[in-house]
Amino acid sequence: MTLRLNRRQFITTSSFAVAAGAMRGLPAFGQDPETSFEELRAGVGIFNGSGGTIGWLVSEGGTVAVDSQFANTAQICVDGLQERSERGIDILINTHHHGDHTGGNQVFQGVVKHIVAHSLVPELQRRAAAGAGTEADQAYANVTFVESWRIHLGTEIVSARHYGPGHTGGDIVVHFENANVVHMGDLMFNRVHPRIDRPSGASIANWITTLEQVADTHTADATFVFGHGKAEFGVVGESADLLHQRDYFTAVLEHVQACIAAGQSVEEITSIETLPGFDDHGVVVPRLSLASVLADAHGELSE
C-alpha cells in the first residue's frame, strides 16, 4: 500500500491530534491534567488522561503500556506504572500513529526496551510529524509486524493483530489473553462520531468487517477498551458496543449510497443532523461530526 499525503492532508492529520486530545478533556492553561488509573482484571487496567485511552499490564512477568497519549500525561502514566511495577516498564505498544496515541512515545522510550506497532505506523507517524513540524518530538516503533505479534510475559500472553484498514491503514487490536481484556485503540469510538483518516488508508467497509471479526473472535466475557468514548458511555465495554458501531457504519454507508443513487450533492448528503437510529452518537469536537463521517463515506463510495 502506498500512502501519499499532500500539504492539506498533513495539516488535517496533525490537527486531529489536537482535536482528539480534547475528547479526554485537555486541562486549562496552568492546570495539571486530570488523570486516573483503573484496574480492570488480573493486573490489566486503563489510564485516563489527555488523548486516547492507555491500556496497561503490571505483572511479575512484565509490564506493558498500550498507547502513550501526549508527553505531559505520558510522564504521569510512566511514573504511575513504575510505582506499581518493581521491574519497570518493558514494552510500549502503539495501536496506530495518531498524535494522541504516540505523542508520549519519547517519554516511554527512555524506560522501555521496545516500542511495538504495525509496520505502516512509523512511516505514517513520520509523515504526520513532518507536516506538523514535530519531528524532534517523535519516537518510533523498533519492533513492527504485518499481521500478528505475540509475547509471553510470565503467566500473561500479550498479542496484537492487524485486521486490515479501518480507522487508519495501520490499526491493531491488542489482547491480554489470560485477563481477556481487548484494547481496540481508535477502532472504537464509543457513541462518538469517529475520525476516518482516509489519507492514512482508512476504510469504512473493512472497519465494519473488523468489528464483526473482533466480536466473533473473543469470548462473551471479554472486556473491551476503547480509544475514545462519550462520557456517559465510557471507554470500557463489551462486544455489543462493537456491533453497535458496526451498525452505525452500516447505516452511514446505506444512507450515503442511497443519496448518491438519488443524485444528491455532498452538501445535501451531509446536511442531516442525526443518523436515524443513532442519535446516541455525540459531537465532542467540531472536527469529529456526522457531517465529516458522511463526507468521508461519500469519498470512499465514489472512488
Chain centre distance of CA 164: 14
Residue indicated by cell numbers 498533513: 10
What is the rounded CA–CA span in Å between residue 126 and residue 133? 10
Residue 272 lies in a domain: no
What is the rounded CA–CA span in Å between residue 16 and residue 35? 21
Residue 164 lies in a domain: yes
- The number of folded domains in the chain is 1
- The pLDDT, as a whole number, for residue 7 is 29
Residue 280 lies in a domain: no
Which of 143, 80, 88, 133 minimizes the C-alpha distance to 110?
A: 88
What is the rounded CA–CA span in Å between residue 89 and residue 105? 13
Show pLDDT as tens, one digit a residue, over the chain (303 residues): 333 333 233 333 333 333 433 343 333 334 567 999 999 999 999 999 999 999 999 999 999 999 999 999 999 999 999 999 988 999 999 999 999 999 999 999 989 999 999 999 999 999 999 999 999 999 999 999 999 999 999 999 999 999 999 999 999 999 999 999 999 999 999 999 999 999 999 999 999 999 999 999 999 999 999 999 999 999 999 999 999 999 999 999 999 999 999 999 999 999 999 999 999 999 877 889 999 999 999 999 998
Residue 188 lies in a domain: yes
Residue 31 has what DSSP assignment? S
What is the distance between the terminal CA atoms of the chain, rounded to a whole angstrom? 16
Residue indicated by cell numbers 487508519: 168
- The pLDDT, as a whole number, for residue 283 is 85
Q: Which three cell numbers stand for residue 128?
A: 504526520
Residue 275 lies in a domain: no
Q: Which three cell numbers stand for residue 177?
A: 489473553
Q: Which three cell numbers stand for residue 205?
A: 467497509
Q: Which three cell numbers stand for residue 273?
A: 443532523
* Strand bridging mode 148-153 / 114-118: unpaired
Beta strands in 76-136 (DSSP E): 91-93, 114-118
Q: Which three cell numbers stand for residue 207?
A: 472497519
Residue 116 lies in a domain: yes
Residue indicated by cell numbers 438519488: 262
- The pLDDT, as a whole number, for residue 29 is 32
Read off the CATH number of the domain in which 214 is found: 3.60.15.10
Which of 265, 262, 217 minimizes the C-alpha distance to 242?
A: 217
What is the domain range of residue 24?
Answer: 7-245
Which of 198, 170, 195, 190 minimizes the C-alpha distance to 301?
A: 198
- The pLDDT, as a whole number, for residue 32 is 65
Name residue 36's beta-bridge partners.
48
